[in-house]
């Protein structure tokens, strides 16, 4: 018994229909992949980056750090973990977070997230994450710079306030010099600062010179 004319037509149309559906699916995936997506707000990125850091999720944290800083500082999961485990954690041992993450600045273009950490002896510092919007959406900027500042403030003796005074300048300089051998042994070679919208690399040696100069300038005015 041979199939009827209608059955033969359905059999001929089936491969065509399958091919058409496959082409439509590929086209749909392509359009979806190219469709503009709304970026998360700077506040959301700041909170996520802070959370990733506090949970030691270095891969997650790296996703939020801007590409130029990662390139200049050779940041990857291993070098970031080394920086935290050999520099940040030993100097902040005994500190506990107090309160929730606060955002003293938050807008559509940038956000500053902070959480205060305190020690039983009265020392304290603010862990700070700065996020700014660029071509790739909101990203963390100056992460190592902020981390360095947090550690130096954590090392200030009880009763020495972080500020512009001569005692504070000298204490910050001493704290940095104590950590310089460790910093020089790390794979992360320094930090970055923003200069007219671009990331500028500073070696640990250059940072040391800057701290020396600031302390000398302050001493000359007192």
Of 186 and 38, more confident? 186
pLDDT bucket at 35, cuts 50 / 70 / 90: very low
Query: With pLDDT > 90 as the criterion, what percentage of the chain qualifies?
Result: 65
> Which pLDDT score is estimated for 38?
65
Q: Does residue 179 have a pLDDT over 50?
A: yes
Q: Does residue 16 have a pLDDT over 70?
A: no
> Which pLDDT score is estimated for 125?
95
DSSP per-residue letters across 98-160: EEEEEEEEE-SSEEEEEEEEE-TTS-EEEEEEEEEEETTEEEE-SHHHHHHHHHHHHTSPTT-
Q: Does residue 174 have a pLDDT over 90?
A: yes
> Mean pLDDT, to the nearest integer, of 33-49?
78
Q: What is the pLDDT of residues 92-122, one digit of tens each?
A: 999 999 999 999 888 888 999 999 999 999 9
> Which pLDDT score is estimated for 150?
96
**Tokens 């700065």 label which residue?**
130
Of 128 and 197, more confident? 128
């Amino acid at each position: 018994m041979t199939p009827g004319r209608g059955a033969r037509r359905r059999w001929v149309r089936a491969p065509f229909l399958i091919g058409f559906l496959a082409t439509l699916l590929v086209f749909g995936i392509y359009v979806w992949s190219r469709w503009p997506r709304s970026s998360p707000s700077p506040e959301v990125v700041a909170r996520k980056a802070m959370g990733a850091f506090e949970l030691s999720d270095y891969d997650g944290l790296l996703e939020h750090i801007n590409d130029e800083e990662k390139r200049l500082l050779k940041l990857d999961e291993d070098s970031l973990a080394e920086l935290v485990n050999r520099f940040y954690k030993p100097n902040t041992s005994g500190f506990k977070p107090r309160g929730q993450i606060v955002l003293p600045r938050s807008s559509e273009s940038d956000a500053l997230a902070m959480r205060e950490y305190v020690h039983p002896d009265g020392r304290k510092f603010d862990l700070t994450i700065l996020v700014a919007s660029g071509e790739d959406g909101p990203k963390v900027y100056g992460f190592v710079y902020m981390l360095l500042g947090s550690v130096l403030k954590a090392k200030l003796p009880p009763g020495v306030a972080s500020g512009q005074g001569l005692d504070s300048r000298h204490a910050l300089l001493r704290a940095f010099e104590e950590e310089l051998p460790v910093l020089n042994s790390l794979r992360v070679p320094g930090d970055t600062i923003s200069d007219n919208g671009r990331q500028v690399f500073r070696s640990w040696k250059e940072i040391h010179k800057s701290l020396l100069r600031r302390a000398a300038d302050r001493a000359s005015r007192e």
